[in-house]
Amino acid sequence: MVTRLVLILSLATASAGAQPDSAAVVRGVVRGDGGAAVEGANVFLLETLEGALSDSEGRFALRTARVGHGTLVVRRLGFRSVQLAITLPASEALEIALVSEAATLAPITVQAGRYTAGDERGATLTSLEVVTTPGAAANVNRAIQTLPGTQAVDEGTALFVRGGDYTETKVLLDGAPLLSSTQLRTPTGTFTGTVDPFLLDGIFFSSGGFGARYGNALSSIVSLRTQGRPERTSAGASAGLAALSGSIAIALPHTTGIRAAGNRLDLDPFFRVNDSPREYDPAPTGHDVSGSATWRYRPTAELKLFAIDQQTRLGVGVDEASYGGLYDVDVGAGMTVLTWRDAFGRTSSWASLSTSRLNEREEFGAFRLDKRLRSSQLSAMAEWPALPSLTVRAGGELERTSSDFDGSIPESGDDVAPGARTTVFQSDITGDRDGLFVETEWRIRASLVATTGVRTDRSELTDERTLDSRLSVALSVGGGATITGAWGIYHQVPDPMFLAPDFGDPSLAPMRATQSVLGLQVERERLTARVELYEKRYRDLALLTHDHDVVGGGIGRSRGADLWLKGRVPLGVDARLAYSLVSARRTDGSTGIVTRAPFDVTHSLTALVERRWLGIVSSVAYRYATGRPFTPVTSAAFDPSRSIWMPTYGAPMSERLPNYHRLDFSIGHLRRFGESLQAVFFYSLSNALDRENVHAYRYSADYSQRIPARSLFNRSHYFGATVTWR
């Protein structure tokens, strides 16, 4: 959320500030079952990612300039990972024991369309990079938007991936589906994503070609993993121009621990300091409270309960040709997830039981919608090495979704004034969905891995069973280069509201997409480069007309290329660049013509550079995107029966909005107060050039004038501080 706009903007400076010139050495030995030496163990500091590999005798030597508290992480294929709290510089050699468990990683981990964020070496983004990206506002969705494959359709946080709608992206939290992956919606975008990144220790994003374990998604997957048991007790608090937040983590005896966090958002002070092109009543406000309890009842097992409750509200001024007034949104959401994992011999097992709710109210003129969703899901998966070169996974999920809708929709999308003719509807539908999958990962040889899978799903809402086949391969060709490829069939149940008898069409079929991906990734010491080509073909799409009628049978096609570069450049600067090229076409709901999709943003580019020195981290990010297409109004005629002008539309999606440009800066400084207390002071400047980016056009009452609707923010300043004790 904006709650921690750059909340731990500079915790990255924990590895750069207050350090001696000469590096110390952390030495030790890694042993496995029976005291045998473990060769090739990955040993690194969590705070700095400085690392080393253990040799044939299990010994390692890690050089670091960090002082004070540190977390040493040890990982090796076939063993449970270990985290140790240490004090630096370390005066004595460390003895580290690893416990065997079922292997879950193949030697080749590069996959088509796969990106990860976390604190493991080799992750695409580190956790700190997620929260320190300028303009990302410490927001998971905005950080994902800096990865290739995403299109900048608006300034919101919704994820439009490879020419698909944001509803085609499925977001999972500890394996459970989030009913709404964005909050604080407005007609031109969304303010925030749903989950605070400081609750997470792993983010997986697939821009396409994902495996059979994931169902009910057409375009992409975001899988979020919440933090487990804390290794030590800690607490933190933050105050910024728009938010207050606090968190605590308590490491209890007997391998248990609890976490709690709370955030309070109020953008009124932010708008008092920074002008906005919109009027708000009220200004965006919200809060979220979360907590978790974790029990590691044996070295290979964990039981974790996570719960979150969220409330958000805003009223934003919107001007339409027929009516100008407040667009009012009030959202309440909550989720509880119980997850379990364990290893029995060579078999690893995982299960998740969850319940979610979403209550949403939207009002604007004659439009009113009250939506109440409930979802309960049980998911499970088992993985075992059937052969030394073959791993088998199998599992499935059972989900029950209850939907309750009521409201009034204007009969014409061009007449939304109070008193306009409306269609009143009320629907209450419940449906079960089941899914089963089997997936095999076959290491054909050391340089070649193939993953095959098949899954079947059936939803009572569509009363149809689907069968999806999927395949991905990764071939190492030497020199740090890997060729990747993927192909698969994907199905997704339309929005339950589209299937409601009073509003939509209960006969809609499951939507279908076929994806093909071909890529090349090169990893060197200071550089990671990836390029991918892809194509998606759609059929049975559920669409909305201009007058909010539901139609089915839509088709489409999306193809393009993605480029990702990340590395260290001269002068100690870390740099990232993501570029996406897309051509997306699909059926226009109002005319039935196949034309450019509303999210056909031809070019999307994000470039970011970061420099750390003397306890300071500074970052600059530049974003560019082609303007999205829209359908223009060509003329209008006065309707005396309703006393309004009714527009005539031109060819669908025949014009584009102006191109999008944005430059953001951020800077932070870390100060230590003793061994256990530190503070971070941060400042950010968003839209530094005060670019008047346009995300929509509005019209005068007679449609004789077309007026640009600016983005939600002008040039904006944000500042604050956070204090951490551990």
pLDDT tens by residue, 616-634: 888 999 999 999 999 999 9
- What pLDDT score was predicted for residue 579? 96
Report CA-CA distances (Å) from 51 to 130, 378, 507, 574. Answer: 21, 38, 57, 18
- What pLDDT score was predicted for residue 19? 35
- C-alpha 67/C-alpha 52 separation (Å) is 18
For the CA atoms of 660, 224, 72, 480, the dihedral, rounded to the nearest 10 degrees, stands at -60
Residue scoring higher pLDDT (623 or 271) = 623
Tell me the sheet residues that pair with 580: 562, 604
- What pLDDT score was predicted for residue 128? 66
135: nearest Cα among 691, 616, 620: 620
- What pLDDT score was predicted for residue 531? 95
Would you place residue 79 in the very low, low, confident or very high pLDDT band (cuts 50, 70, 90)?
A: confident
Region 278-285: mean pLDDT is 82
Would you place residue 187 in the very low, low, confident or very high pLDDT band (cuts 50, 70, 90)?
A: very low
Reported as a single tens digit per residue, the pLDDT across 370-411 is 999 999 999 999 998 888 889 999 999 999 999 998 989 888
Residue scoring higher pLDDT (297 or 650) = 650
Residue scoring higher pLDDT (76 or 587) = 587
Give the whole-number percent of the chain exceeding pLDDT 90. Answer: 42
Region 633-640: mean pLDDT is 93
Report CA-CA distances (Å) from 277 to 159, 271, 274, 639. Answer: 24, 10, 10, 32
- C-alpha 370/C-alpha 392 separation (Å) is 44
Cα torsion angle, 363, 245, 308, 70, sign: positive
Task: Scan for tokens 């993953």, then name that residue.
Answer: 451
Contact in structure between 159 and 166 (CB atoms under 8 Å): yes
> Does 119 have pLDDT greater than 70?
no
Region 700-707: mean pLDDT is 92
CA 459 from centre of chain? 26
CA 142 from centre of chain? 7
- C-alpha 622/C-alpha 660 separation (Å) is 11
Region 233-244: mean pLDDT is 88
Region 482-495: mean pLDDT is 95
619: nearest Cα among 3, 47, 130, 19: 130
- C-alpha 595/C-alpha 123 separation (Å) is 38
Region 43-71: mean pLDDT is 78
- What pLDDT score was predicted for residue 87? 83
- What pLDDT score was predicted for residue 122? 55
Would you place residue 86 in the very low, low, confident or very high pLDDT band (cuts 50, 70, 90)?
A: confident
CA max distance for the chain? 90
- C-alpha 109/C-alpha 97 separation (Å) is 25
Q: How many CB atoms lie within 10 A of CB 253?
A: 6
> Does 141 have pLDDT greater than 90?
no
- What pLDDT score was predicted for residue 120? 55
> Does 477 have pLDDT greater than 80?
yes
Contact in structure between 394 and 380 (CB atoms under 8 Å): no
Would you place residue 137 in the very low, low, confident or very high pLDDT band (cuts 50, 70, 90)?
A: low
Contact in structure between 144 and 586 (CB atoms under 8 Å): no
- What pLDDT score was predicted for residue 49? 62
Q: 131-140, 286-295, 511-520, 600-609: lowest mean pLDDT where?
A: 131-140
Q: 263-272, 373-382, 430-439: lowest mean pLDDT where?
A: 263-272
- What pLDDT score was predicted for residue 12? 34
Give the whole-number percent of the chain exceeding pLDDT 70. Answer: 90
- What pLDDT score was predicted for residue 192? 52
For 25, the 3-state DSSP assignment is strand
Would you place residue 635 in the very low, low, confident or very high pLDDT band (cuts 50, 70, 90)?
A: very high
- What pLDDT score was predicted for residue 101? 61
Would you place residue 548 in the very low, low, confident or very high pLDDT band (cuts 50, 70, 90)?
A: confident
- C-alpha 104/C-alpha 350 separation (Å) is 12
Region 280-290: mean pLDDT is 86
| Two structure tokens written together for 671 | 């100060």
Task: Scan for tokens 């979220």, then name that residue.
Answer: 288
Q: 4-13, 377-386, 479-488, 527-536: lowest mean pLDDT where?
A: 4-13
> Does 8 have pLDDT greater than 70?
no
Residue scoring higher pLDDT (41 or 437) = 437
Written as one letter, the residue type at 411 is E
> Does 230 have pLDDT greater than 90?
no
Region 451-468: mean pLDDT is 96
Would you place residue 190 in the very low, low, confident or very high pLDDT band (cuts 50, 70, 90)?
A: very low
